[in-house]
Amino acid sequence: MLLETKKLTKQFGGLTAVSHFDLIVDSGQIVGLIGPNGAGKSTLFNLVTGVLPLTSGRVLYEGKDITGRKPHQVAALGIGRTFQLNPLFADFTVLENVSASFHLHPKSSLLEIYFNTPTYKKNEAYILEQSLAILTLVGLEKVKDELARNLPHGYQKMLGVARALATRPKLLLLDEPLGGMNPSEIEFTLNAIRKMRDQGVTFLIVEHNMQILDLCDRVVVISFGQKICEGLPKEVREDEQVIRAYFGGDRAP
């Protein structure tokens, strides 16, 4: 397994946002973490990535205990993530946004940059090549010279994914990648994620949009901070607890 959480718990005063939550993500899978708004999905992401401290429980990555690591330490281990609110450089082009993410881990020293050395030029050529490859992978190569602020909402979301891919993650956590999208943008995003999975990226995807089920190998459902169901997409669609959590009745999703 690539990621495992054991009895993950987070309390805010008297409120328990996540309670004794167990989760496993195997390498090469797309695992969906779904649930109604306010169920605790994003809180769980923040616990895994070190944004929030745990109240109790453990986080294991590639068999190693990473509980309590800081966000930059978690990222360095190979866990990337996106956010509901996309932090892009609005006045940078699409290509510049991705290239800038590579510079978070520079390969050139300040002296090499200042003197424009052959090593620096070689590294910059590598970054350009890799940035273009990532844009091709996520389907944004045709808009590489557009300013990020001019992109449609769905493309901006996918640019956030492309920036995360620049950190070379083994596991990519997507926080509501379909949020606010129209049907054509949703189809574009689902196809891009499938392509990335085929290239070896493992995904844990938080969503409340049930269309994400079409993409997942396995689905975990959270409600009021607790796991209420886990299984194949078909099994989750037909589970009575899931139907009640989403609709409050017996109507199938």
User: Could you report the per-residue pLDDT of 188-199, keeping only the tens digit for each?
Assistant: 999 999 999 998
Q: Inform me whether the pLDDT recorded for 173 exceeds 90.
A: yes
**Which pLDDT belongs to residue 180?**
85
User: Could you report the per-residue pLDDT of 143-156, keeping only the tens digit for each?
Assistant: 999 999 999 999 99
**Number of residues written out for the chain:** 253
DSSP class of 200: T
Residue that wins the pLDDT comparison between 20 and 179: 20
Domains of the chain in sequence order: 3-247 (3.40.50.300)
- The answer to whether 23 and 43 are in contact (CB under 8 A) is no
Q: Inform me whether the pLDDT recorded for 108 exceeds 50.
A: no
Per-residue pLDDT band for 120 (boundaries 50, 70, 90) equals low
**Token pair for residue 157?**
């979301």
Distance of CA 65 to the CA centre of its chain: 20
3-state helix, strand, coil in the chain (%, to 5): 40, 25, 35
Residue that wins the pLDDT comparison between 202 and 114: 202
Q: Which helix (H) or strand (E) holds 3?
A: strand 3-12
